[in-house]
Structure 1
Amino acid sequence: MCVILNLLIMKKILFSTMALMAFGFMNAQENANVPITNNGFKQGDVFMTGSIGIGSESTGDNKTNSFNVKPKAAYFLTENIAVGAALGFMSGKTEVPLAPDVKTTEFSVGVFGRYYFTPGSTFSVFGELGVDYIHSKQEALTEDTSNAFRIGLAPGVNYFVSQHFALEATFGVLSYRTNNPSTDGVDNTDNFNLGLNFTDINLGLIYRF
């Protein structure tokens, strides 16, 4: 029941955001000949963005709760290209009857680059390529750690609602991750993901300085 409720809430937020951005796009098209002076990006701009996620899943008596946050900051090297850095933190706990709780924490640091197709407009589409280093720890009866590298490519959109604030949505499409466990005798794991699901959709808010 909780899973269904969470999916419905996520769908409502996603569709509402996309509807707002679509309205902004149509409005921008209607006013294409009107100079935009307040909204949009330009060379030399600095912005901060990020995402926060809270999840809860129940299957019978098994329960999983998670929390994640990933702030980002970037600088426009040119009119269309922005480069920046990102930090990340994830914490999760799985509760299973008659078994120890499984706690997972994950820290990440990375760099990313974006190409904006119409940076000076209120509405813009962009592509993002990012590389992250990830350190993970899992605690149950024993404690296991691992290190990983992740490469991800994702398209996104942003819509300025004021001179400094914009809504943002990114959609994960292509990613590759290689995981190196610290436990002796455990092989590395390579994961390639191509597709789109709710865990790959991130909604955020941009602040332009």
Structure 2
Amino acid sequence: MLRANAVEKTFSHNINIIMIIKYIGAILISACSVGCLQAQIQRGSVLMGGEISDLNWSLSDKGSFSGRLSPKAAFFIKDNIAVGSYISFHATVSEGTSPSTTYGVGILGRYYWGDRNSNLFRKSKFFAEGTVGIEGNNPAEGDNTNGLGLSAGPGIAYFISPAIGLEALAKYKGIAGFWSAPLSHNIVISFGFQIYLTRSSDKYDNR
């Protein structure tokens, strides 16, 4: 009987130790996740990736395909603030007609925010993005618009790993034309991903 009680106490003690280890491990993992997320958007980090939107593949007799691809890269000049460049290309191709295309190249800026202590934002960050560049809208029919392109809108990044963020972004895009149609504008909702490369040295710590 005494031996059974001793075994039971030892088993209970081991269970308590395992539970404590699991609890500490969960705290460390959570803290690491928050710390890694913060590291991705600190001064000296780099983001590279892109967005895909407007995907449409028609299955009719005169099938058509359309899609937009927007690669981008940026450098964090300060914590939560990144500046970089982008390229955008959109095409609609339909059998028997000329293709419709839009293009863009220019600079972009991002500002991230979010309470890292909140469970909701532990792996997520809201951001605002704006772009300025040379853009064009050349439809198969109608007037072309080529000129100064502007866009701005909010987005959210969800970090599936310390280095990869999945994004959803909604932006207003406008083109002030230099000739033909004076203005072209629309709302674009896009999805994409970014790869975040953190600084590899301490040269940015002397701020």
Instruction: Calculate the TM-score normalised by the size of structure 1.
Output: 0.64
Q: 1:105 to 1:176 in 2, by over 3 A?
A: closer
Q: 2:114 is aligned with what amino acid?
A: T
Q: Is the 8 A contact 1:72 1:86 kept in 2?
A: yes
Larger Rg: 2
1:207 to 169, 185, 195: 195
Measure the CA separation in 2 of the matches of 1:108 and 1:165: 25
Alpha-carbon distance in structure 1 between the residues aligned to 2:177 and 2:111: 28
SS of match in other structure, 2:44: coil
For the Cα contact (< 8 Å) 1:79–1:119, is it kept in 2? no
Counterpart Cα distance in 2 of 1:62 and 1:179: 32
**After the TM superposition, which parts of structure 1 deviate over 6 Å for at least 4 consecutive aligned residues?**
none
List gaps (5 residues or longer) in structure 2. Answer: 1-26, 117-121, 198-207
Say if 1:165 and 1:119 are closer, same or farther in 2 by CA, change over 3 A.
farther
- Distance (whole Å) between structure 2 residues aligned to residue 106 and residue 94 of structure 1: 15
- Percent identity between matched residues is 26
Unaligned runs of 5+ in 1: 1-29
Q: How does 1:10-159 map to 2 (within 5 A)?
A: 34=31, 36-40=34-38, 41-53=41-53, 54-57=55-58, 63-95=63-95, 100-118=96-114, 122-137=123-138, 146-159=145-158
Computed over aligned residues only, the root mean square deviation of the Cα atoms, in angstroms, reads 3.2
What displacement does 1:94 show?
A: 3.1
- Deviation of 1:48 (Å): 0.7
The alpha-carbon deviation at position 104 of structure 1 amounts to: 2.1
* Displacement of 1:119: 8.8
Instruction: Report how many aligned residue pairs link the two structures.
Output: 161
Letter in 2 for 1:148: G
Q: Is the 8 A contact 2:136 2:175 kept in 1?
A: no
Q: Which amino acid aligns with 2:193?
A: L
